[in-house]
Structure 1
Amino acid sequence: MHSPPTLGKVNMSQLQDSFGRRFHYLRMSVTDVCNFKCTYCLPDGYRPDGKPTFLTLNEIENLVAGFGEVGTQKVRITGGEPTLRKDFTDIVRIVADNPNINTVAMTTNGYRLQQHAKEWYDAGLRRINVSVDSLDPKMFYQITGENKFDQVMRGIEAALEAGFERVKVNAVLLKGLNDKDLPRFLQWIKNTPIDLRFIELMETGLGHDYFNAHHLAGVDIKKQLEREGWLYDLPSVDDGPAQNFSHADYQGRIGLIMPYAKNFCASCNRLRVSAKGKLHLCLFTENGVDLRDLIQNPSQRDELISRLHGQLAQKKETHFLHQGITGVTQHLASIGG
């Protein structure tokens, strides 16, 4: 993989909004299909809306090339479950081969990780986030609808052995479900170099009742960690809105993503493109803008870049979640979380 200029040397054409936020991170969904039925996301499982028309390899290559020319240096491949695509390894290779991209990451439920970690690493994937909402196999099954806890954990071990730069585990905080799991998670990362990230539950269009029943404020976890000697890490350019904490007695770190915290959106550095080619400036508040007509061939690059700059000028300062406005997003799987 090639090394682009450092983030300190800002490309004059780099994507920037009217609030001075610069965007070097693209979350690119390649499918909205998922084989898990997580209660906070797809409780009834994936329900296709007609025949899937997800981004092709050619469209992905042109999309990443366009974003790369306006300062994008990190691409996270998401879903749904991105590894359900039979050409997933080809997608990784296409992104990794772009000379402007220096970090290729993905978010996965981990069910294929054990068999393919080395293959994906060899293709250029360097960072992996695995969703593990509980270390109790019974609770894992209750939340995900799948009895695959042991399989996922073996996948995480395979990723660590494959040599990935960073392996993170994501857990959505759920009151009355996994909120008692913190001691078990802490014990796990005491001798395991995992970045554990607790994500505060966000309300979506389909989840009002679920949100009211299970929302747990991330700030409560933060206070508990501080009481137990965890120290706040100064943010790196890659962190975005995450607050990270380290402890001298632990090999792993903890990150908190608290969308209801004050000034959460101030450090926003990412944009999203859905599996059907729509640009989303935020997880919430808007329907997305179609880019698919401009990623059919490289000759459309200038027009694509112009549309990206035009849309960034309209990005709002905040997601308005704290005001109870969830926007039109029905579930996070539809645009990659």
Structure 2
Amino acid sequence: MLTDNFGRKFYYLRLSITDVCNFRCNYCLPDGYQCDNDRNFLSLPEITRITKAFAQMGTEKIRITGGEPSLRKDLPEIIARCKQTPNIKKVAITTNGYKLPEHIDNWLDAGIDAINVSIDSLDPRQFHAITGHDKLTHILKGVDMALASGIQVKVNTVLMREYNGYDIQSYLDWLKDTPVTLRFIELMQTGDNQEFFDAQHIQGSRIKQNLMLDGWLPVIKERASGPAQEFYHPDYQGKIGLIMPYSKDFCSTCNRLRISALGKLHLCLFTEQGLDLKSYLQHDDVEPLKARIAAMMQDKKATHFLQENLTGATKNLAMLGG
């Protein structure tokens, strides 16, 4: 079992398969994707070896991320390889939803268990202003298709003071009859968004307080769940999650590790650097890879250092998929 020096066990792997994204979200890639590496992204055999190694070390859940993972034509094969790996119980994907209506059936056939879709506003004009794309209706159609299939659907919304911070009620109205889990995510400071962060950051604790006053109740978490605090209300079909990385003890229940699209292990989203595993991914014997991962775990810190304005090597969230 993958365990760090603080007794935390790691059941959850976030696996990035590309850092390319076709959106220009103002909090992540306001100038669009900038190619600043060799784009030697993980191959299908390398992904298979990573998945096998982590599964043998106790990982139960894999989330496929980007960039935008649907930009890879072999995404269905990647989903299938992860799903077919012994000990992997759940395979999920985080997507901007741009290709969701066209590809949802292929992902389902490959074995996907859950989909997270990023929707930062339910107002088409505001959505366009945030992402640079007039695709809200198209993406919501994909969400409806996913829900109709019976798959678990979550919607990610990054909170921003001037863009959606005063429009929480529209999301609550939507959740009355829409059985998704909507996760409000606190805007996080990265290497290139200091000014934007200072102007737009909203504390999720305020929303939590209002939810509790309005009768929302905590949901018991599974051990492979992500960092969100989730809440339900008997009058709503949907649930609400809050991801508050600046809250006290946020890192105490950390259960996830990250692999970048370039084959580097990131012990934290805001670590100083990724630890290169590429040389261990070139043959089918995963025992040396497992030994290397276990050794690297000794360097995992007790917490991120966001409160001290230290963002490590994370220039933008597309680098690792959040």
TM norm structure 1: 0.94
Amino acid at match of 2:166: K
Amino acid at match of 2:250: F
Is the Cα–Cα contact under 8 Å of residues 59 and 295 in structure 1 kept in the other structure? yes
2:106 to 94, 119, 123: 119
Matching of residue 167 in structure 1 with residue 153 in structure 2:
yes
Alpha-carbon distance in structure 1 between the residues aligned to 2:218 and 2:60: 26
Matching of residue 204 in structure 1 with residue 187 in structure 2:
no
Is the Cα–Cα contact under 8 Å of residues 135 and 181 in structure 1 kept in the other structure? no
Matched residue, 1:85: 72
Alpha-carbon distance in structure 2 between the residues aligned to 1:282 and 1:50: 21
Alpha-carbon distance in structure 2 between the residues aligned to 1:54 and 1:326: 24
Amino acid at match of 2:53: G
Alpha-carbon distance in structure 2 between the residues aligned to 1:285 and 1:93: 30
| SS of structure 2 residue aligned to 1:310 | helix
Alpha-carbon distance in structure 2 between the residues aligned to 1:115 and 1:187: 27
Matched residue, 1:28: 15
Alpha-carbon distance in structure 1 between the residues aligned to 2:197 and 2:185: 13
Matched residue, 1:40: 27
Matched residue, 1:314: 299
Matched residue, 2:50: 63
1:190 to 162, 171, 176: 176
Matched residue, 2:211: 225
Distance 1:50 1:331, change over 3 A: closer
User: Per-residue deviation at 1:51?
Assistant: 4.2
Matched residue, 2:200: 214
Matched residue, 1:135: 122
Is the Cα–Cα contact under 8 Å of residues 11 and 223 in structure 2 kept in the other structure? no
1:152-181 Cα distance to aligned partner (Å, 9 max, x none): 1011011111221x1000000001111122
Matching of residue 281 in structure 1 with residue 267 in structure 2:
yes
Distance 1:295 1:218, change over 3 A: same
Is the Cα–Cα contact under 8 Å of residues 201 and 216 in structure 1 kept in the other structure? yes
Q: Which runs of 4+ in 1 moved over 4 A?
A: none
| SS of structure 2 residue aligned to 1:279 | strand
User: Per-residue deviation at 1:238?
Assistant: 2.9
Amino acid at match of 1:156: V
1:150 to 117, 133, 137: 137
Amino acid at match of 1:36: F
Residues 249-328 of structure 1: matches in 2 within 5 Å? 249-299=235-285, 301-328=286-313
Is the Cα–Cα contact under 8 Å of residues 29 and 78 in structure 1 kept in the other structure? yes
Across the aligned residues of Structure 1 and Structure 2, the Cα RMSD in angstroms comes to: 1.0
Amino acid at match of 1:309: A
Alpha-carbon distance in structure 2 between the residues aligned to 1:171 and 1:219: 15
Aligned length: 322
1:123-154 Cα distance to aligned partner (Å, 9 max, x none): 11010000000000011011111111111101
Alpha-carbon distance in structure 2 between the residues aligned to 1:213 and 1:177: 11
Bigger drift between 154-163 and 256-265 goes to 154-163
State the identity as a percent: 52
1:264-293 Cα distance to aligned partner (Å, 9 max, x none): 000100000000100000000321101111
TM norm structure 2: 0.98
| SS of structure 2 residue aligned to 1:125 | coil
Matched residue, 1:107: 94
Alpha-carbon distance in structure 2 between the residues aligned to 1:163 and 1:73: 21
Is the Cα–Cα contact under 8 Å of residues 285 and 325 in structure 1 kept in the other structure? no
Q: Which ranges in structure 2 are unaligned for 5 or more consecutive residues? A: none
Amino acid at match of 1:33: V
Matched residue, 2:319: 334
Is the Cα–Cα contact under 8 Å of residues 265 and 275 in structure 2 kept in the other structure? yes
Q: Which ranges in structure 1 are unaligned for 5 or more consecutive residues? A: 1-13
Alpha-carbon distance in structure 1 between the residues aligned to 2:37 and 2:288: 30
Alpha-carbon distance in structure 2 between the residues aligned to 1:296 and 1:335: 22
2:233 to 230, 236, 247: 247
1:54 to 29, 41, 51: 41
Alpha-carbon distance in structure 2 between the residues aligned to 1:219 and 1:50: 37
User: Per-residue deviation at 1:79?
Assistant: 0.1
Distance 1:267 1:240, change over 3 A: farther
Matching of residue 94 in structure 1 with residue 89 in structure 2:
no
Amino acid at match of 2:188: M
Bigger drift between 289-298 and 205-214 goes to 289-298
User: Per-residue deviation at 1:236?
Assistant: 2.3
Is the Cα–Cα contact under 8 Å of residues 204 and 331 in structure 1 kept in the other structure? yes
Alpha-carbon distance in structure 1 between the residues aligned to 2:109 and 2:63: 17
